């Protein structure tokens, strides 16, 4: 039986960003340096495949510092942590390594700088997301107010409308965030924004690639985890950019083949914490059913690299 033809548009860039790459490397190097077990507070990055792989190597994932023993190293996830977490680790004289993405750390520094200048902060982000919790936890209670939507801006109660600044989560939808920023500037004309966009280069680039593919594809799949903010935003961006069927899949086994019946073109991308091996797995699944022609759609080149902390570069 002949397979139906399928044009597969492969987004570039896709998958791992420099912050995720660095965070995974930190856990692997910590295991090499100190041996197993090494404790990791929260999933190092939001991807089950990655977490399971590191667990197999001897990483133990916990949600709170209280679950980690004093005498084993602990690593803080790429999403960042409130200031109280390293303070508790120091009080317990624990060895800890901070794997916070440097671009998230930049937002933390920004928030502290504005606070030192006497400004109250408004954070654009998702309630309950570890990055939002970490950023808001850099400053004292009440100094950072959270808004999730443009509608929230009308209801936020500030101390002084003339003394405000805003920061954003690094993994948001660029277009949605622009709308929220516009609402903030309309209500608080004196509000101070970041020197450079807080939404990170990887989020921006992956969304741009999806926008280039979405109008050309009958369907688009995002390889990523359901708790990955940047992956979920890619699904939303695809739908808004004109793709009639956009879906998040963790693995090839999650593909809804019935929903894809009759397609002639498909877009594939991956969130910033999804490894390329999972993209290959999805492509292989389509190659079994279709006569696949792959066309890479490249909208940017990435060559960003972040160093691991010095403690891991020194011998044990």
Tokens encoding 17:
């960003």
Q: What does the pLDDT average to over 212-239?
A: 97
User: pTM of the entire structure?
Assistant: 0.95
* Intrachain domains 5-16+201-298 and 103-187 with the same fold: yes
The tens digit of pLDDT for each residue in 148-205 reads 999 999 999 999 999 999 999 999 999 999 999 999 999 999 999 998 889 999 999 9
pLDDT band at 29 (very low <50, low <70, confident <90, very high): very high
* CA–CA separation, 274 and 249 (whole Å): 11
pLDDT at position 33 is 96
18-101: what CATH class? alpha beta
Domain boundaries, the chain: 5-16+201-298, 18-101, 103-187
* CATH code for the structural domain at 5-16+201-298: 3.40.1010.20
* CA–CA separation, 274 and 290 (whole Å): 24
Tokens encoding 168:
């954003």
**In the chain, pLDDT over 70 holds for what percent of residues?**
100
Which residues does the annotation mark as catalytic? 131
pLDDT at position 314 is 82
pLDDT at position 316 is 67
Please tell me whether residue 296 adopts helix, strand or coil conformation. Answer: strand
Assess whether pLDDT exceeds 90 at residue 94: yes
Query: 103-187, what's its fold?
Result: Cobalt-precorrin-4 Transmethylase; domain 1 (3.40.1010)
pLDDT band at 281 (very low <50, low <70, confident <90, very high): very high
How many CB atoms within 10 Å of residue 189?
10
Q: What does the pLDDT average to over 29-41?
A: 97
């Amino acid at each position: 039986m002949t397979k139906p033809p399928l044009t597969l548009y492969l987004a570039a860039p896709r998958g791992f960003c420099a912050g995720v790459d660095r965070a995974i490397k930190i856990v692997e190097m910590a295991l090499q340096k100190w041996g197993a077990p090494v404790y990791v507070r929260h999933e190092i990055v939001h991807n089950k495949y990655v977490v399971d792989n590191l667990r197999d190597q001897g990483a133990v994932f916990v949600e709170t510092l209280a679950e980690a023993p004093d005498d084993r190293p602990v690593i803080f996830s790429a999403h960042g942590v409130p200031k109280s977490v390293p303070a508790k680790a120091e009080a317990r004289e624990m060895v800890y390594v901070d794997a916070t993405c440097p671009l998230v750390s930049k937002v933390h520094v920004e928030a502290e700088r504005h606070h030192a200048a006497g400004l109250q902060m408004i954070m654009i982000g998702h309630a309950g997301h570890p990055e939002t919790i970490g950023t808001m936890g850099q400053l004292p209670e009440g100094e950072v107010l959270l808004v999730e939507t443009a509608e929230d801006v009308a209801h936020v109660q500030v101390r002084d409308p003339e003394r405000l600044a805003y920061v954003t989560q690094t993994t948001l939808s660029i277009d949605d965030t622009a709308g929220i920023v516009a609402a903030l500037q309309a209500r608080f004309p004196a509000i101070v924004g970041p020197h450079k966009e807080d939404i990170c280069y990887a989020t921006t680039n992956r969304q741009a690639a999806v926008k280039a593919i979405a109008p050309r594809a009958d369907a688009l799949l995002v390889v990523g985890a359901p708790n990955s903010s940047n992956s979920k935003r890619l699904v939303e961006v695809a739908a808004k950019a004109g793709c009639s069927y956009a879906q998040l899949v963790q693995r090839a086994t999650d593909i809804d083949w019935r929903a894809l019946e009759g397609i002639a073109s498909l877009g594939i991308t991956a969130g910033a914490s999804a490894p390329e091996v999972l993209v290959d797995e999805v492509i292989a699944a389509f190659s079994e059913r279709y006569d696949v022609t792959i066309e890479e759609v490249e909208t940017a080149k990435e060559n960003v690299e972040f160093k691991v902390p010095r403690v891991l570069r020194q011998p044990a």
